[in-house]
Amino acid sequence: MSRREPIRVLVADDSVTMRTALVAMLGEEQDLRIVGQARDGLEAVEKARALRPDVITMDVNMPRLDGLGATAAIMAESPSRVLMVCAVSEDRQLDLSFRAMAAGALEVISKPGPAPDELRRFGRRVAEAVRLMAEVPVVRRHRASEQGLLSHAASAGVG
């Protein structure tokens, strides 16, 4: 399926370095348009509601509300396609992937190491995932209680 309009992307990451890198890499793609940035999970929920992006790249470990809690809230309030981007050890990757999918994320991609070639590969992988995800139908999820989201955010030890 071919799109005429650029894919609208919201980038949510508390690391200014990673957020800037994602915005720069995705911004180079002609079929992608960065519509906003968020520094934490609560800001991601607010911007998802206001901007209605096609796809959100979401860090896992963020202040105020982690990426898992933010994804669950977004899927309940203003559903969007979420690509979880994380820096976790290999032994925690599988558990995080299942938790991210349960919250509503469509895919989990590991953040790159410091080598420039790793960052370029990561950028290409994220851009391709965003393109693929833009074609997936969005389904609203039932909202967990506010207390459930807050306790989840407090107990999340991933990222």
At 127-154, the pLDDT tens digits run 999 999 999 888 766 554 444 554 454 4
Please state, in angstroms and rounded to a whole number, the distance separating the CA atoms of residues 7 and 12: 16
pLDDT for residue 92 is more than 80 = no
Mean pLDDT of the chain: 86
CATH code, 45: 3.40.50.2300
Dihedral sign computed on CA atoms, order 99, 110, 47, 4? negative
- Can you tell me the distance from the alpha carbon of 108 to that of 84, in angstroms, rounded to the nearest whole number? 5
Neighbour tally for 117: CB within 10 Å:
9
145 domain-assigned: no
Task: Answer whether residue 19 is part of any domain.
Answer: yes
| 8 A C-beta contact, residue 20 and residue 27 | no
| Total count of domains within the chain | 1
**pTM exceeds cut of 0.85:** no
Which is it for strands 55-59 and 7-12: parallel, antiparallel or unpaired? parallel
